[in-house]
Each structure stands twice: as structure tokens, then as C-alpha cells.
Amino acid sequence: MSYEILGMAVLWTFLFGYVMIASIDFGAGFFNAYSKLTGKEHILTKVIQRYLSPVWEITNVFLVFFFVGIVGFFPSTAYYYGSVLLVPVSIALILLAIRGSYYAFETYGPTGHNGYAFMYGVSGLLFPASLSVVFAISEGGFIEITDSGPILDYWSLFTSPLTWSIVVLAVVAVLYISAVFLTWYADKAGDTNATNLMRKYALIWAVPLIITAGGIIYELRWHNPDHLELIIDLWWMFAISFIFFIGSVYFLIKKKNYGWSVTLLFGQFAFAFYAYGISKYPYLLYPHLTVHDGFTNDTMAISLIIVFILGFVMLVPSLYLVFRLFLFDKRYIQGDK
């Protein structure tokens, strides 16, 4: 495997990790706010806080890993994306700040405030929405390369149906992933009310999820036919993803084996996410930047890979420890500890 592909595979994997864990977190914040508004607070809040509080900083590092890693392996991305993303990413950062401070101020601090919980919940949906715009931009057609550098055409970006399909998909996916996961988590905690409520949410969001995902493929037909062709070549990966989706919804409907639901959920998104990633190859920014011309020098590539392996060897046991303590320790989940 060439260094480019190895680098991209590692980064994509961490991005996938971030998307999944962060979605659980974002969706949970939204459900929490929603339940406060509709007076079902007592059902959800406890479960959600048990899961979220210890892990949010770790989640954030996955994001940091991705953006530091991509500048390391593909320095030209800093130039192309850095120049054009000032506004969307700054907005995302402000939303992130609202979320980060919520943990600090509400969870560790004294009594909660409903307005804050509400902002927190909404920011959890706006944040993925603002970041998902980057995926739309990477499809090409919104950036013009001028003498003074790349320039983003905001008008065509925000009037493109493709952009909005991606944004909607991001939001729906967040709600779905989170609802499925929390169904399982609440079930483990032995909280029947919360389980039933989350299960209901999961089933509600399953339908729009699959409609918007299909919608994007339809939009690409107009926007970037080359890319669409590559996606069609990978039809089997998307098919597997779809089968996993059906499986996980099946267990939800049958009210059993929620563990399987979550496993299949991860499988579903893994296949879709990697298939999408592979279909984009070799472009980092269509059609201006490919993984080959954006790549760093070999010396740097090798040192980054060595550091990655060393870091990874230390990381896995520590992550395992966290999961054992907070996710799979029955007594912690149930609130005895």
C-alpha cells in the first residue's frame, strides 16, 4: 500500500470514529433538551449524563486527531481548505464551545438551566450541519482558484440542493445513531421507560435517514457525475450497508437483542462511510487536489506513520480501560457507582 493510501485510511478511520461517537453525544444532547421541553426529563437525563460526562473530552480528541493528521499527511489541504473554510469552521467552533462549556458548567457545576440545555441541544444539531458543508465543498464546483488563492462561492454553495441534502443527512444520521445507541444503553441500565422512549425515536428517524441517503446519490447525478459513477461501481458496499440497516431496525421492532442493533448500526455506517471514502479517491478536493499532489514528503510520512503506530499501541489499552469502566461496567451504568 502506498503511504498516501495508508495515511488516508488512518485518517478516515479516525473520522469515522469521531462521527459515530460524536453523533451519540450530539443526539443525546438534543433528546435531553427535547425531553426537558416536553416534561419527560426524568426519564432520560440520568441515562444520558451517565454516559456522556466521562467521555466528551476523549471524543473531542478524535476530531483534533483528524484535522492535525490531515495537515500533517496532506499539507496542501491546509492551503485549499484553510483559505475557504474560515466562516463555516469558525461557526462550528463557536457551537463546539457552547457544547464544551455546557459540560463544564452544567455537569460539574451546580444546578442546571433550561435555556442552556436548550442551546446545547440545538448546537448539537447545528454543529454537524455546519461541518457537513465541508463534504459538499469537496465535491467540487463551489471553489474558484484565483491569483490570490482559492475563493468559495457562497451563493452557489447555499443554493445547491446537494449541499442541503448532505446537511439534512448529517442531522438525521446524528439523531438516528444516537437513538439506537441510547436504546441499548438504557436497556442495559435497566431503565424500561427510557428504553421505550429511545426505541420510539430510533424508529421514527430510521425512515428519513434512508430517504435522505438515497437523495444524495440522486443529487450527485447532476452535480458530479464522475463521482456518481464511482459510487455505482461500489454498489455492493452500499447494499451490505442497507442490509445491516434493515437488520438493526428489525431488532428494534422486535424489541430484543438491542446489542445486535447497535453492532449492525456500526456496520451499516462503516460500510457506507468507507464506500463513500473509496469512491472519492483520489480527490481530496474535486478537481483541484488529489491525495497524490497534496501529499507530504516521504521522510515526514514515515515519521508520522511510526509515531502513529507507537501512539496507537499505547492508545488501545487505555481506550479499552475507559470502555470497561464506563460502557460495560453494569454497576456504573445502573448508577450504583
Partner 1 sequence: MLFDDPVFGSRMLTMLTLSFHIIFATIGVGVPLMIMIAQWIGIKRNDPHYLLMARRWAKGFVVTVAVGVVTGTAIGLQLSLLWPRFMELAGHVIALPLFMEVFAFFFEAIFLGIYLYTWDRFENPKKHLLLLVPVAIGAAMSAFFITTVNAFMNMPEGFEIVNGQLTSVNPLMAMFNLATWTKVTHVVATAFMTSAFILASIAAFHLLRGSKQTYHKKGLHLTMKVGLVFAIASALLGDFSGKYLAEHQPEKLAAAEWHFETETEAPLIYMGILDDDQNVRYALEIPYALSILAFNNPSAEVIGLNEFPEEEQPPLFIHYFFDIMITIGSLMIFLGLIYVIGTRYNWNWIRQKWFRFCILLGGPLSMIAIESGWWLAEFGRQPWILRGFMTVDQAATQSDHVGLMFVLFAILYLVLGIGVVVVLTRMFKQNPVEKDLASLQGGEGR
Site of interaction with partner 1 (CB under 8 A): 53-55, 57-58, 60-61, 63-65, 67-69, 71-76, 78-83, 85-87, 89-90, 93-94, 96-97, 100-101, 103-105, 108-110, 148-149, 296-297, 299-300, 303-304, 307-308, 311, 314-315, 318-319, 321-322, 325-326, 337
Q: Which of 6, 75, 83, 138 is nearest to 295 (CA)?
A: 75
Out of 13, 45, 53, 60, the residue judged to bind ligand HEM by CB under 6 A: 60
Which of the ranges 54-62, 81-89, 167-175, 224-232 carries the binding residues for ligand HEM, by CB under 6 A?
54-62
Contact track, ligand HEM, 132-171, x by CB under 6 A: ----------------------------------------
The binder of 97, among ligand HEM, partner 1, none, by C-beta within 5 to 8 A per type, is: partner 1
- Judged by beta carbon, residue 81 or residue 258, the one nearer partner 1 is 81
Q: Is 316 among the residues that bind ligand HEM (CB under 6 A)? A: no
- Judged by beta carbon, residue 5 or residue 325, the one nearer partner 1 is 325
199-to-1, 38, 39 alpha-carbon distances in Å: 42, 17, 18
Strands 289-290 and 283-285: antiparallel
Q: How far is the CB of 88 from partner 1 (least distance, A)?
A: 10
The count of residues in the chain is: 337
Alpha helices, DSSP H, located in 74-224: 75-84, 86-102, 114-138, 154-159, 161-188, 192-223
- Judged by beta carbon, residue 101 or residue 192, the one nearer partner 1 is 101
Q: How far is the CB of 59 from ligand HEM (least distance, A)?
A: 9
Helix H, strand E, coil C: the string for 309-334 is HHHHHHHHHHHHHHHHHHHCCHHHHC
Place of cell 454537524: 128
- Judged by beta carbon, residue 60 or residue 257, the one nearer ligand HEM is 60
Helix 192-223 vs helix 235-254: angle between axes, to the nearest 10 degrees? Answer: 160
Q: Is 211 among the residues that bind ligand HEM (CB under 6 A)? A: no
The binder of 65, among ligand HEM, partner 1, none, by C-beta within 5 to 8 A per type, is: partner 1
- Judged by beta carbon, residue 62 or residue 274, the one nearer ligand HEM is 62
- Judged by beta carbon, residue 239 or residue 319, the one nearer partner 1 is 319
Q: Is 61 among the residues that bind ligand HEM (CB under 6 A)? A: yes
How far apart are the C-alpha atoms of 286 and 223, rounded to whole Å? 11
Q: Which of 72, 75, 66, 74 is nearest to 13 (CA)?
A: 66
71: cell is: 495537515
Out of 5, 37, 64, 86, the residue judged to bind ligand HEM by CB under 6 A: 64
- Judged by beta carbon, residue 97 or residue 239, the one nearer partner 1 is 97
176 neighbors 140 (Cβ within 8 angstroms): no
Q: How far is the CB of 60 from ligand HEM (least distance, A)?
A: 4
Helix 56-73 vs helix 86-102: angle between axes, to the nearest 10 degrees? Answer: 160
Which of the ranges 53-61, 82-90, 184-192, 283-291 carries the binding residues for ligand HEM, by CB under 6 A?
53-61
Q: What share of residues in the chain are helix, strand, coil (percent, to 5)?
A: 80, 5, 15
Q: How far is the CB of 27 from partner 1 (least distance, A)?
A: 20
Contact track, ligand HEM, 228-247, x by CB under 6 A: --------------------
Query: How far from chain centre, in Å, is Cα 252?
Result: 22
What spatial distance separates the first Cα and last Cα of the chain, rounded to whole Å?
Answer: 47
Q: Which of 163, 157, 161 is nearest to 129 (CA)?
A: 163
CA-based radius of gyration for the chain: 20
Q: Is 96 among the residues that bind ligand HEM (CB under 6 A)? A: no
Which residues of this chain interact with ligand HEM, rule CB under 6 A?
A: 57, 60-61, 64
